[in-house]
Each structure stands twice: as C-alpha cells, then as structure tokens.
Amino acid sequence: MRRFSWFNTTSLTLGFAFLYLPMILLVVYSFNESRLVTVWAGFSTKWYGELLRDQAFLDAAWVTVKVAVFSSTLATVLGTMAAYVLVRAGRFSGRTLFSGMIYAPLVMPEVITGLSLLLLFIGLNIDRGVFTIVLAHTTFAMCYVSVVVSSRLTSFDRSLEEAALDLGCSAFEAFRLVTLPIIAPAVISGWLLAFTLSLDDLVIASFTTGPSATTLPIKIFSAVRLGVSPQINALSTLMIAVVTVGVVAASIITKRAAVSQARDEQAAIRAE
C-alpha cells in the first residue's frame, strides 16, 4: 500500500490551502458584523438579510437564472447536433469551416466575442436585453457542449447504432432509443457546463446586454469595483455553497454507479 511522502504531503497541503483559503476567508467574513471587512466585530447574518431585501440583486439573480436556463438548454440541443455532425456526418462541403467555428470560440478572448456580437446586434438593430444575452451565451456554450458530447460519441461503439438499424429502427429511432440514452451523461454534463458558463459570464453579457437586463455578474462587478463589500461576501458564500453541494452530490452519485457496475462485472466474471 502506497503512502504519502512528506514532499507530496507538503505540496498538496500548500496547494490546496492556496486554492481554498481565499474562498474560506470570503465565507468567514460574510458573517462579520462590521462593514469593515478586515476587522472582526462578531458573528452576524445581517448581510444575508440585507442581500435578500435588496430588490436589485434579486432582479439580477432572476435575470441570470433565466438566461442560464434558456441558453444552456438551447446550447445543449445545438451542441449535441454539432457533435453528431462532427463525429458522424462524414464529409460535407464546408466541414473544415464548421469544425473551425466549433473550436475557435473556445480560445477566443471574451472581449472579442462580446464586441463582435454587440456590433452584430447593433447592425441588425435588435433591442438588447435578455434575448441578446441568451443568443450570445448559446453561441459560445454550444461549442463547449459539442466538445464534451463529441468526445463521448467518438468512444461510442458504432455497431450499437447499426444493431438498432438492423433490428428495424429508423435512423431517428436508433438515435432516440440507443444513442441518446447511452450518451445522456455527457449531454447532462454538457448542460451543466453551459449553465455554469452562463451564470459566470461577465464580459460577454456586459457587451450584449441593454439597459433592461442586468445579470448578477454585472451587478457584482460594478459593486466590487469600488472595493470589498460584505453583501457581496454573503452572495459569494451562497453561490459557493450551491456549487459545492451540487458538485459533491454529483460526484458521489457517479462514484456509487461506478462501484456498483464494477461489483456487477466482478460477479459476472466469477459466475462464469
């Protein structure tokens, strides 16, 4: 049995301290009575109360969630289609351009993506707001979804689809009954990724929004530009808590599934 060496223990401890201490401090100071962030004046949850009474924050949160739900769902549909095209459609004219357009947004600086979409919306005279942010987020998130889904599709045993066709499925039935259930985990993680990217995005949303729609990151950014604010600490704590619970739960579920699958396989081998 392998053990931790002192060197590895030290580097892991320091590394994870570096990764987590700033966030822990944020959480701790969100319960600080004092408005001065650096002085500990006793435990209090008053900033949470203030946050929840601040209509502007609540509105921004609502806009953000709306945008994230719409754009990630749309991005999942388009991204899955794009992945299918990339992996399965074979050759068609313009394929190189297509795969280029899938990969380019992944490395494109956000300022450029935001700027270019804004100029498009102005050129077309579209009123900017929730709708335009959804369009913008869908566009860059679908590329992430298609990368996640296409990596699953590449390792997918093609003969499963052929077997479905062989047994009388139409191409669409084969996708619905065989391909989709099997790649579902990748599609779901694609959706989650798109959802978080949308929740998180400041730059593209700033460019593509109008006066009618302010998202949470835009609100946070304008608040923290002026310095540390206890209300933002409280908000950050809530967001960290949600993500932590979500990720930990997801990883426990996948781990359980993997363990039970491994156990079944062992049992099947022994039974032989």
Partner 1 sequence: MRRFVLIAVPYLWLLALFLVPFLIVLKISLSDVALARPPYMPQLDLTQGLDGLLTFFSDLDFENFVFLSTDSLYWQAYLSSLQIAVVSTLLTLCVGYPIAYGMARAPREWRPTLLMLVILPFWTSFLIRVYSWMGILSTEGVLNQVLLFLGVIDTPLQIMNTKTAVYIGIVYTYLPFMILPIYSALEKLDESLLEAAEDLGCSRMEAFWLITWPLSRNGIIAGCFLVFIPAIGEFVIPSLLGGSDTLMIGKVLWEEFFSNRDWPVASAVAVILLLILIIPIVLFQRNEQKQREAEG
Partner 2 sequence: MAQTVFAPWTDPDQKPIIEFRNVTKTFGEFTAIHDLSLNIYEREFFALLGPSGCGKTTMMRMLAGFETISSGHIFLSGQDIGAIPPNKRPVNMMFQSYALFPHLSVWENIAFGLKRESRDRDQIAARVEEMLRLTRLTKFAKRKPHQISGGQRQRVALARSLAKAPKLLLLDEPLGALDRKLREETQFELMDIQEKTGTTFVIVTHDQEEAMTVASRIAVMDEGHLVQVATPAEIYEAPNSVYVADFIGDVNILQGRATPQGDGVSIDWAEGQPPIRAATDTTFSPGQACHFAVRPEKVTIDVERPDRPNTFRGKVIDIAYLGNISTYHVELAGGHRMKAQMVNARRLANRQITWEDEVWVGFTDTAGVVLEE
**Could you say which DSSP state residue 115 is in?**
H
How many helices (H) and strands (E) are present in the chain, helices listed first? 12, 0
Q: Interface with partner 2 by CB under 8 A: which range of 1-9, 116-124, 176-184, 192-200?
A: 176-184
**Could you say which DSSP state residue 127 is in?**
P
Q: Which residues contact 6 (CB under 8 A, 6 or more apart)?
A: none
Cα–Cα distance measured from residue 135 to residue 137, given in angstroms and rounded to the nearest whole number: 6
Of 3 and 272, which CB lies nearer to partner 1 in the complex structure?
A: 3
**Could you say which DSSP state residue 175 is in?**
I
Q: Decide if residue 155 touches partner 1 (CB under 8 A).
A: no
From first CA to last CA, the distance across the chain in angstroms is 30
Q: Decide if residue 55 touches partner 2 (CB under 8 A).
A: no
**Residues numbered 207-236 forming contacts with partner 1, rule: CB under 8 A:** 217, 220-221, 224-225, 227-228, 232-233, 236
**CB of 185: closest distance to partner 2 in angstroms?**
11
**Could you say which DSSP state residue 32 is in?**
B
249, interface contact from partner 1, partner 2, none, CB < 5-8 Å by kind: none
AA identity, residue 236: S
Q: Interface with partner 2 by CB under 8 A: which range of 193-201, 211-219, 236-244, 264-272?
A: 264-272
165, interface contact from partner 2, partner 1, none, CB < 5-8 Å by kind: partner 2
Cα–Cα distance measured from residue 44 to residue 128, given in angstroms and rounded to the nearest whole number: 40
**CB of 127: closest distance to partner 2 in angstroms?**
45
Half-sphere exposure for 112 (CA within 13 Å, toward CB): 6
Binds partner 1 (CB under 8 A): choice among 34, 116, 212, 260: 116
Instruction: Kindly list the residues in this chain that would bind partner 2 in the complex (CB under 8 A).
Output: 157, 159-160, 162-170, 173, 177-178, 181-182, 261, 264-265, 267-269, 271-272
